[in-house]
Amino acid sequence: MILVTIGSLLAYYFWPSKKLPKEARIDFIEVWKSKRKMDVFGNGKLLKTYRIALGKNPGGRKEFEGDNRTPEGSYLINARNPNSKFYKNLGISYPNESDLRHAEALGKPAGGDIKIHGLRNGRGYRGKFHRLKNWTAGCIAVTNSEMDELFESVTDNARITIHP
């Protein structure tokens, strides 16, 4: 039984995922928090689905800075950083006006710095195992090889919608 478990874990870790074509251009990203998946589209066509990790407190929308929740709503990819402490990242335009009003009503700062990113530098060896729990401070995490694909393929100002 132990050998079967070890074999299954190794197969999960090393089984190659479908690669995004190099010429792909992603102009829309759709995240489904409850399913922990992220679909990417180019010209209305589904190009690939990624398995993701979210904020440590994934239930509900992000309400304020430090709540460890991933936002919900419509945003843009508005930045890219090839030298992040989490491998590479793509910036999400959180907070929007609605997020700011909501946080203000709570008397708290909305926060910001929400990204799609890879694994913390020096911990890329975790690979797909990072998905076994939600661990970010509110960001969306993928493996480093997946982040390479996204970093090259996501267009500037691509739309992203994050659903519950």
Mean residue pLDDT across the chain = 92
**3-state SS string for 64-122:** CCCCCCCCCEEEEEEEEECCCCCCCEEEECCCCHHHHHHHHHHCCCCCCCCEEECCCCC
Count CB-CB contacts under 10 A for residue 81: 15
- Choose, from 102, 130, 139, 163, the residue flagged as catalytic: 139
130 strand-pairing partners:
none
Could you identify the residue written with the tokens 């060896």?
125
- Choose, from 102, 117, 130, 163, the residue flagged as catalytic: 117
β-pairing, 89-92 with 37-42? unpaired
Return the ∠ at Cα 58 (arms to 46 and 12), rounded to 5°: 60
Split at pLDDT 50, 70, 90, the class of 12 is: low
- What pLDDT score does 74 carry? 97
pLDDT in tens, 43-59: 999 999 999 999 999 89
- Give the residue among 113, 130, 151 at the shortest CA–CA distance from 29: 151
pLDDT at 85 over 70: yes
pLDDT in tens, 111-131: 999 999 999 998 888 888 899
Domains and CATH numbers, the chain: 19-163 (2.40.440.10)
* Angstrom distance (rounded) from CA 65 to CA 69: 9
Answer yes or no: 117 catalytic.
Answer: yes
Return the ∠ at Cα 84 (arms to 47 and 93), rounded to 5°: 60
